[in-house]
Every structure is written in structure tokens, then in C-alpha cells.
Structure 1
């Protein structure tokens, strides 16, 4: 289990939320529903994803998810390369402008997939992401928890390279996410992913409520 990221504070401006969980957990659905709710309040929202939130990232995503076998260390480096470019060109500029950034996957996915599931050193995988993003961490990480067998039925009909891994692999991924949340509960919101999507979105919004007033004030002052 990794220690909390006590030396790394979230950005001073904007609001950065990462949605994490195994394949089929419903991360993109939650990002969409929360974005719609926040936009309904008049807030500026940027929704993005990893890998593939940039043109460079889209090329990396193709290799990672739709290519042939990728060695575990190469896989970790490719995810970190995508994250470095994504943080520098999308996430940090949006936060600096005071936006709410909702990201489908961030560095915890690397710790869970390449660390817990591939067997690489967890601390090294996380440090690679911290170096790539210059220490960027979310204000809140939402972990959508679902067991591997249930998640299979929630996925698309054509699984990608990582989705085709064994149930044991995906259970290790799940355990990796839960261990991260247990070690640093102040940064995480763990939700049962099989709950109705709108109930989940309401729970995320409730967790964000204390910070949304300041975000709205900052965005209003900047406009």
C-alpha cells in the first residue's frame, strides 16, 4: 500500500476531479452526467480522458489499447508520456483558467494496472506519473467500484487489449484502486458502480459541493 500524497497539494485554481475504476465501471458516464449538472449551474467545465485526451494521446491510445503486446515497463512509460502531454496542454491550462476539469482516468490507473496488476513497483509507477505531470494531483478522485465478473457484462462488444485480460488481472486492478483509496481517504470517494448512474452523479456532486461555491465565485470574477 502506498503512503498518502501528503507532499503534493491540488492546484490552487479550478477544480480537478478524476474518475477511476476498472473497465466497465461507468467512468465516462459519470463524467458526462456530472459535467451536465455543473454546466447547468453555469460553470465552465472541461471533460477529458486518458489515454487519448490530445492528438498525441490519441496515437498513444491506439498503440496501448488496439495494438499488439506491449511490455509492462513500456506500457507504463507510454501511459506516462500521454499523461505528461495531457497535463501540460489540457489539464493545467484549464485549471489555471478556473475551470472544472473532469478526467476519465488519471495516474491512479497506472498504479492499479501497471503496478497492482502487472506487478511493477507501485511507488516507481506513481513517481513516474508525478514526474510526468510536475506533481499534479486531483482535488478529488472518484473510484467506481465493481467486481471484475460484473464489469464484463457492462463493457462494449469489442474489448480492447486491456479489457481482454483475465478476470484475475482485473480483480488485481480493483484491489489496487481500493488500496489507494484506503490509504488516503481524504482524497477519494469510493462508490458502488452498480448503483443507478444518476444516484452516483448526485453523490459526486454532493462531495464537490463545498468547493463549488468558490469555483463559481472565481469564474464569475474572471468573466
Structure 2
């Protein structure tokens, strides 16, 4: 999440997460470090980063924050370029859009709860052809649309499909295969009119396998691996 100071980046982060993760004030330069948080949007794991506002600064701490912003812009798979639609475009806005014009970028026009300062339809024609979403981080307007656009740009389509799914590691891939096997057993048992106890047993196994992926259940062999490979103390 990038933009100049006071465009509502931290408010946007909080609204997407639906929690008060970042401090929000009217003081320019409140965010000086990169604030990271992860969430699942329509089943897609996303790591969000709220960054310091881009501007020329003399303060040494804020200057480091701006440098971190520059680094994260280079690393990001998707940039949410946030503009304040209630004020005119600034040199910092233009500078940001120039930096990200070759990256996958979603233009976010924030503060639609306030009167627009410009004819944005005309302005957007002169900007790089980024997909654009209008939101109010303050009121939550447009956030659902924003999330859908994030998923669309991340997975390269309108919907997150099985063919685009990713298992982060071997253990989770194994758990997914076991879940599939148990669910196939449920279907077979249902077709064969097997006793409900057997169907419930297979369903429980499927749920336990899914629990391994999301962290709700931890099998003994995983615990043994943790304690044998890592030194865990107070």
C-alpha cells in the first residue's frame, strides 16, 4: 500500500483487515515503518504492507521509512497506489505512478466520502491504464470491490480456481491429498448406504487433515519434528 502522506493508507489497511492494526492520525508522516499483516481474501493468502508516505523529508527516521517504502515497491507482487481524490494531484502522486507504471498496480482513489477536487474521468485518461477502484476507507465504501480486484490481479483471473491453488509446503500438500481421499471415501460410503458412524469417521478424518493446514490440529509427528530440529526454551 503506497502513496504520499495523508492519503489514507493506514486507514485502508485497517479497513481491509477489519481491525485497528496501524495508528491513524492527521499528522503527516505518522507511519514511519513498514507495517505487515496477512489475511485470506476469497481463499487467497495475501500479505499486506502499509508503508511510509512518499515525500522529501529532513527527519532521519522518516527518511529511513521512505527508503523502506522504495524497497518494498520493488519487491511487491501488487501495488495499491493510493490517491486522495478530494485534492488535486501532487508531484508526489505523479512520482509514485511513474515508479509503478511497469508493475502490477491497482489505483485506489480514496476519500470518496468527500467532494471530488478534480474531474477524475479526464485525469485518469492521462495516467497509465491502471485498473481503478474508488473507496472510502473511513466509511468502508468500495472495500468489497477492492478485495475482488486484489484477488483478480493476484491470481490472474476473475475467480480463484483449483488450478491456481498453491500448497506452501510438502506437509500441507500431503494433508490436502489425504483430505481428498477421505472425502472420496465419504462419497463412496454415502452411495453404498454405509452406516452413519463410518461416514462420520471419514468426515472427521477429512476435517483433521484440513486442520493440519490451517493450524487447528497438530499431529504428533509434526510435534516430534519440531522438538527434534529446534531448540525451544524459555
Task: Provide TM-score, normalisation by structure 2.
Answer: 0.37
Task: Provide TM-score, normalisation by structure 1.
Answer: 0.38
Q: Which has the higher helix share?
A: 1
